[in-house]
A and B are shown apart, each in its own frame.
Chain A
Amino acid sequence: MNGGSALVRRGAAVSVALLLVVLVAWQWGPSLLGIPTFIIPPLSSVFDEFLRMLAVSGLMTHTGVTAAEVIAGFLIGSLLGAFFGYLLGMSPTAEFALSPYILALQIAPKVAFAPLFILWMGFTVYPKILVAVLIVFFPVMVNVLTAIRTVDPDLINLARAFTATRAQIFWKIEFPASLPPLFAGLRIASTLAVVGVVVGELVGGNLGLGYLLAFGEGQANTAMVFVAILMLTVVGGIAYLAVILVEQRVLHYLPRRALTGV
């Protein structure tokens, strides 16, 4: 354990040093290299823009709207994905019948649906949530489906030999066995939800960080675009972290090492 904590301390020190180097390079690098501020605004002007947007552009409102859409899209998409994953996993007939359509939908670039959803639902939050739902659905569904498919048949036979019912086999074997892959899918889903929401906001509407991105671009306000990107990263990061925290509680029985991989 001592070796482990030394590694953590050294790693953290290097990480912080790296961050400082990047920040310093960001602040003074562009001007040294003669890059104009409308291409890469220095750190200090991005920070000034951040404060200005907090004060007059309603940055927190936009961030809040985007975060709410991300949460809604993530939850609905994950629930649907898990539900269909379990359903198809337990019914080979359903999987056989539906798999060509699911494959087609999975190959279609989900973000391309954004303009369509806006045509259908107008400049509301719903098309943004819907794009996120669509994009989140697949990794969760595929992971759950694969997990159900790959449960050791001997485990199922063991339960059957103990006279288990179909429901008992699901709740005592298949469901818990599917949780590690489910969480792997949820990690991916948490970052994809942000992508879906941003694309929706870029396409239409006047709320959210995606709107600020488009607005900043229109104004040639590079600093504003940077601020929006940073805030989106924060939203995505918090979503990802939330999944990891839940995962560590639910999958506490796994050896430590298996959980730390990001």
Chain B
Amino acid sequence: MSDQVRLEYRNVSMRFAAASGKALTAVEGVSFAIRDGEVVSLIGPSGCGKSTLLNIGSGLYAPSAGDAFVDGERVHGPNAHVAFMLQKDLLLPWRTVLENVMFGVEIQRLALPERKRRALALLENFNLAEFGGHYPHQLSGGMRQRVALARTLAVDPSVLLLDEPFSAVDAQTRMVLQRELAQTLKRAGKTALLITHDLLEAVTMSDRVLVMSRRPGRIIDEIRVELPQRDDPIARRQVPRVHDYMARLMDRLDIAGQHAAGVSV
């Protein structure tokens, strides 16, 4: 981990035209920076603009004000420095597992032998080597999500943007996948921004947790997670201090208050 900043948002705001014709401010004045090798989680209530930030980071949206920077370069469109992964695996049903993993590098026009070498190494890494020739519908949800992660890593991005990557799989599979992701990030020294609803996931997976307010989304707190073993969320779960962090996050998100007021989260 060096002090080099990999991903930075400088005073980013995003307004959309709402159906009513009024402008809707999704995020306002968001600034933060993620250093090389850091894993940072972003949590906040539904609709607070977390995914909007991710889309700005990946260059899919241009912010209304402010700028995003990746590796010191201003983001002005999709670029090869960033890769994202969503809750949906977005595997192409007509491609085999191996071909799906090669999708990104194929678009970036890497030579076929190199594509294949990378994809096979990743499949090996995720214990999917024997499934290279299978089609996505033949795999379980957890395996499909692993293939999606392999596809994201295959383009060798400096920054991974992860939008609730494991929220669609069952609780046990999620823990296994979280550990695999944590180990992979650690081993490869990758920088990641992880959007999640799961406070425990945020605390056990990250170096820092950023808390966003309700719309218009602003960063209202930053919590440095000073726990050992960022590469093993399952071990981290058992550290008693995790609960102090959880309590602080719940307090910042005013979760108890929302229930009392009957507001759905």
- The number of residue pairs between A and B whose CB atoms lie closer than 8 Å in the complex comes to 53
Q: Are A152 and B104 in contact (CB under 8 A)?
A: no
Band of interface residues on A: 10 to 19
A183 to chain B, nearest CB (A): 13
Question: Is B78 in the interface zone, CB < 8 Å from A?
Answer: yes
Q: Taking A172-B107, A255-B137 as contacts, is the C-beta distance between A161 and B92 under 8 angstroms?
A: no
Q: Are B59 and A162 in contact (CB under 8 A)?
A: no
Q: Is the CB of A154 within 8 A of B86?
A: yes
User: Given the complex, which residues of A lie within 8 Å of B108, measured CB to CB?
Assistant: 162-163
Q: Do B92 and A176 touch (CB < 8 A)?
A: yes
CB of B78 within 8 A of CB of A161, answer yes
Q: Which residues of chain B come closer than 8 Å to A172, judged between CB atoms?
A: 92, 103, 106-107
In the bound complex, CA of A253 to CA of B100 (Å): 13
> Does B237 interact with chain A (Cβ within 8 Å)?
no
Residue contact A155 to B90, C-beta cutoff 8 Å: yes
Taken together as a complex, chains A and B put the C-alpha atoms of A157 and B95 apart, in Å, by 18
Interface SS majority for chain B: loop
With contact pairs A253-B94, A255-B137 given, residues A162 and B103 touching in the complex (Cβ less than 8 Å): yes
Query: Which of A155, A179, A253 has the largest number of chain B CB atoms within 10 A?
Result: A253
Decide yes or no whether A24 CB sits under 8 A from chain B: no
How many angstroms from the CA of A146 to the CA of B83 in the assembled complex? 29
Are B86 and A159 in contact, CB atoms less than 8 angstroms apart? no
CB contacts (< 8 Å) of A159 on chain B: these are 103, 107
Measured CB to CB, the residues of A under 8 A from B are: 152, 154-155, 157-164, 168, 172-173, 176, 179, 253-255
- The interface of chain B, by Cβ under 8 A from chain A, is 55, 58-60, 78-80, 82-84, 86, 88, 90, 92-95, 103-104, 106-108, 135, 137, 155
What are 12 inter-chain pairs, A to B, with CB distance below 8 A? A152-B90, A155-B90, A155-B92, A157-B55, A161-B58, A161-B84, A162-B80, A163-B78, A163-B79, A164-B107, A173-B92, A176-B94
